[in-house]
Amino acid sequence: METTNNTSRKRYIVTYVDQNADFARAEQILHVQPGTIKDGVSLLESDKPLTAKDVLHFDGLGSSSVVLSETEAKNLRRDDQVLAVEEDLEVHALGVEDLLSVPSAPASNGGTQYYDLNDSNVYDGQLGLDGPTPQPVTNAPDQGFQAGYQQALTDTYSRMLGQLNAIFGVAPAAAGPVPSPVPVRPIIPVRPILPPLTPPIFQQPIPWNIAMVKAPQAWPRTRGRGIKVAVLDTGIASHPDLIISGGASFVPGVTSYHDGHGHGTHCAGIIGARNNFLGVVGVAPQCNVYAVKVLNDAGSGQLSWILAGMAWARQNGMQVVSMSLGSNSGPVVAYTIAVQQLLAMGCVVVAAAGNNGPAGTVGAPANSPGVIAVGAVDQHRVIAPFSSRGGTGNQVTISAPGVSVNSTHLSNGYRSMSGTSMACPHVAGAAALVRMRYPTWTPAQITRRLVTTASDLGFPGNDTTYGAGLLNCDAATM
């Protein structure tokens, strides 16, 4: 939040009863001079810093951002044209980099498990660990994944050499030269005419988390081609495993949506990393990913920045919005109205439930009506200790992998991270799969399909810990 000379004045979000209130109407309600209010999306998207004098309006969301004194805020709350006056909350990314490299799934050698898409067989990628015990690592990419991928390449080349030996008839070398008792006339070899060699087929390794939600089984039906998914986060960095279709920055004074933190890039990879025979692959590898930078490179932001990102998503026809961010507050009216506006134009809204553990409830914006609130489970389908639980009128909708998830990161690398932030993009990717499969469905219908096809976990039926259960992309796209 910008600094002001008067510490008693704060920036607030004013939400109007009339959700279609335009600039002129907002000026009347806020009692400001005509022409004073600026378009919130345009100003925050520019390189101009946000000052205490700036009054912003988010057209289409029915809310404005303005600096007020406590008295002015109280007076506005009494106005029957105003639905709510809320402080411009601080919002944070809900994921952290893992300090331990752990096996991604049980494997015979204590390594990371990957899956062969062609024949569904499993091969073990060596982690280089002494058994399954986790070992400390630095901020380098996940070595288990790299070793597993390298082993796959080695196996491929070994098979190629075997094929060459069979074609040329090359026998293994003898232990030593065998002396000939009589002189032998030299034999001039004749080069055989050989059929063209079949080039090797490199296969994309499938990380454990993508396999767990059964995304590969859904790909013969849908890969989310062309579905527009907005990642409201720290931005997205360029990466050979990602295609960024566009985006914008709503961090004041920052015009680039480049990610200097890594969180947004990680989430983007879970949603839509390409099936390109390297690195990782996302749940919906053919969707169009958009970088909407609403958190700074320290991983934090303001409610007003998030609202600007949501307004941008609405204006640009996004079909899925993924928000791996939040605060510990109760329901926020400004979020509720913004979500309603997105749902009304056909956009599915997915958010991380929060990392507050068993004692914490689902935070904002995941606690807004209509949002798919996502909890996190580990490799064994057990709820993560940090994952927020639901409560009365404040529920977890569904669960997805969120512990030691390997995905794209900064400097063209990969990194393992944990949090409900990592669970959220799995469901956003699944929403893209369902949206492509059933293009006429409403957000409510897509949500219902994801919920009713989830694999039950915990107590039978829907519960406050797991929601409907584990995301199942295969069943959801049937």
pLDDT tens for each residue of 201-238: 567 889 999 999 999 999 999 999 999 999 999 999 99
DSSP state of 125: E
The tens digit of pLDDT for each residue in 63-111 reads: 999 999 999 999 999 999 999 999 999 999 988 776 433 333 333 333 3
- Stretch 466-478: mean pLDDT: 97
Amino acid at 75: N
State how far the Cα of 278 lies from the Cα of 228, in Å rounded to an integer: 23
- Looking at the structure, tell me whether residues 260 and 346 fall in a common domain: yes
* Among 88, 113, 135, residue at a domain's last position: 88
- Where do the DSSP E strands lie in 55-99? 56-58, 63-68, 82-87, 90-93, 96-97
Of 88, 111, 139, which closes a domain?
88
CATH code (residue 24)? 3.30.70.80
Catalytic status, residue 421: yes
Query: Are 408 and 446 in a shared domain?
Result: yes
Considering the candidates 263, 266, 409, 426, report the single residue annotated as catalytic.
263
* Same domain, yes or no: 339 and 449: yes
Determine whether 57 is an active site residue.
Answer: no
66 and 106 in a single domain? The answer is no
Candidates 261, 324, 421, 426; catalytic one: 421
What's the chain's length in residues? 478
**What are the phi and psi torsion angles at 9 (to 5°)?**
-100, 135
pLDDT confidence bin for 358, thresholds 50/70/90: confident
Residues 456 and 340 in one domain: yes
Each residue's pLDDT tens digit, 381-395: 999 999 999 877 679
Residues 75 and 122 in one domain: no
For residue 362, is pLDDT > 80?
A: yes
What pLDDT is stored for residue 192 in this prediction? 61
- Tell whether the model's pLDDT for residue 139 goes beyond 50: no
- Do 470 and 321 lie in one domain? The reply is yes
- Answer yes or no: do 219 and 145 share one domain: no
Q: Distance between CA 104 and CA 405 in Å, rounded? A: 8
Residues 250, 136 share a domain: no
- Whether 233 is a known active-site residue: answer yes
Which of 88, 120, 137 lies at the terminal end of a domain, its last residue?
88
The predicted pLDDT at position 359 comes to: 79
CA distance 429 to 441: 16
Query: Are 381 and 404 contained in the same domain?
Result: yes
* Domain count for the chain: 3
The distance of Cα 467 from the centroid of its chain, to the nearest Å, equals 19
* DSSP bridge partners of 417: 97, 405
pLDDT per position as a tens digit, 31-48? 999 889 999 999 999 999
The answer on 293 and 221 residing in a single domain is yes
CB 222 within 8 A of CB 477: yes
At 82, list the tokens.
């105003």
Catalytic choice (233, 241, 378, 474): 233
Nearest residue to 295 via CA among 335, 327, 270, 334: 327
Q: Domain residues for 67?
A: 10-88
Residue 377 located in a structural domain: yes
Asked whether residue 430 is domain-assigned, the answer is yes
Asked, for residue 356, whether it belongs to a domain, the answer is yes
Q: Do 317 and 251 belong together in one domain?
A: yes
| Beta-carbon contacts of residue 271 (< 8 Å; ≥ 6 apart) | 229, 231, 282, 283, 284, 287, 289, 322, 425, 428, 429, 432
The torsion angle over the Cα atoms of residues 82, 85, 90 and 92, rounded to 10 degrees, is -40
Asked if residue 107 belongs to a domain, the reply is: yes
